[in-house]
Amino acid sequence: MLEKGRLGTRALATLTFMMVVGDMMMIYPSVITSYAKQNAWICALIGVPIGMLLMAMFLKLGKAYPDKNLIAISRSILGFWPGTLVGCFYLYFFVIGASTHTREVGDFMTTQLFQYTPIRVIILLFVIAVSWGVYNGIETMGRSSELLMPVGVVFILVLCFCLVPKIDTSNIKPFMDTDVVSIAQGILVSVIYPVGETIPILMLLPYTSSQEHRNRDLIMAAGLGNLLLASLVTIAILVLGAFLTQHNIYASFILMQKISIGDFFQRIEALMASVWLISTYFKAMVYLYAFTIGIAELFKLKRYVFLILPSSMLVFAFANLVAPGVTFIIITVVPYWVDWDTTVGILLPGILLLIHVIKARVNHIKLRS
């Protein structure tokens, strides 16, 4: 086994939750509202049970090959060369995902908090922190997520409760006036962005203790994370309205600026930014870990630690090259990212699971005959 450490069920569930929330905590309300307008909250709620079903599909695929990660699963199902091609496609997705999350951190910090700090400095510091987490191993990643996950949950709940006095129910009217295509796109976004991007979990499952209720806990973690994001979407539309939510990419950050209780409890947006950085950090760390251990699996290496430094340098380079600015990401990257997530998060896992079921049934028929 490439990884000597072992994750417990609780640690894997918290990592799953952090990946679902991840960078979506800040940008999810804007993205889904751009499709479904004031009905985005309905799409977000519909996406919660569908996202749990998608996580169940991931776990069913992983359960069929309990000792293999996603790269090895692809080779076992499709054969060596087709499986290697699919594995390389996933590795490219992992490294670009880690780079994009890193770039999101750089863009946010340099546009909202540290306007005079060079973005490459922010990216470099973030990459160093992410690579250090990967270097310390999967157990450290899991225990750190257990420690920090309650912080994220508490601040999302604080955000929602403190903005209750500013709610205007007229912002969600009229109901269901959006066309069917936009509603369907909103539901797809509510599933594929939060839960579809947790596909690197299949790289962690072989190194997880096979404990009772593991699948249930992971499905519940995905559902809880998606439900919290749906709460953010709902409160954003109720307070800001669909137009302002759609045109503020950092809608959650804007919401935090509106909190003012007794002229005392206010201006806590920096705390919200810290929580977003924590969740995005864990998501980027899992993606980088999945990339390094996937490279080791692809080339049948016995260790992956020496790959962390070149992989981190690759992420740093891609983070600077992936987009010239946040406007490019919003206008050009986001519309096509949905298609990419749909391919790697629904189509390919679904095809792999379908081929596995067909092969298993054919082998069963041969044994009976």
Distance separating alpha carbons of residues 292 and 306, to the nearest angstrom: 9
The mean pLDDT of 221-245, rounded to a whole number, is 89
**CA-based nearest residue to 22, from 126, 74, 98:** 98
> pTM for this one?
0.93
Helical (H) or strand (E) element with 265: strand 265-266
Higher pLDDT, 84 or 179: 84
Among the listed residues 217, 230, 187, the one whose alpha carbon sits nearest the alpha carbon of residue 342: 187
Given a cut of 70, whether residue 94 has pLDDT beyond it is yes
| pLDDT score, position 74 | 93
- The model's pLDDT over 118-157, given as tens digits with 9 standing for 90+, comes to 989 999 999 999 999 999 888 889 899 999 888 888 887 8
In this structure, the number of other CB atoms found within 10 A of the CB of residue 81 comes to 9
Report the share of the chain in percent with pLDDT over 70. Answer: 96
Question: Looking at residue 98, what is its pLDDT?
Answer: 93
Distances (CA, A) of 328 to 107, 331, 334: 11, 5, 9
Provide the pLDDT confidence category of residue 114 given band limits of 50, 70 and 90. confident
Does the pLDDT value for residue 335 go beyond 80?
A: no
Residues 82 and 24: their CA atoms lie apart, in Å, by: 33
Query: What's the pLDDT band for 264 if we cut at 50, 70, 90?
Result: low
Count of alpha carbons within 13 angstroms of residue 123, beta-carbon side: 23
- In the numeric block, which tokens belong to residue 247? 């045109």
Strand (E) or helix (H) holding 358 = helix 348-368
Say if CB 301 and CB 109 are below 8 A apart.
no
pLDDT average, residue stretch 309-319: 93
CA dist., res. 284 & res. 194, Å (int): 14
| Tally of CB atoms within 10 A around 18 | 27
Chain centroid to CA 265: how far?
A: 31
- The C-alpha atoms of residue 194 and residue 4 are separated, in whole angstroms, by 29
Mean pLDDT across the chain = 87
DSSP output for 18-55: HHHHTTHHHHHHHHHHHHHGGGHHHHHHHHHHHHHHHH
Judged against a pLDDT cut of 70, whether residue 339 lies above it is answered with yes
What confidence tens digit (pLDDT) does each residue in 3-44 have? 666 788 888 999 999 999 988 888 888 888 888 888 888 899
* Residue 193, number of CB atoms within 10 A of its CB: 26
Beta bridge partners of 266: 260
Tell me, what's the pLDDT at 267?
67
The candidate with the shortest Cα–Cα distance to 256, out of 242, 243, 240, is 240
List of residues 6+ apart from 348 with CB closer than 8 A: 86, 89, 90
Q: What percent of the chain has pLDDT over 90?
A: 39
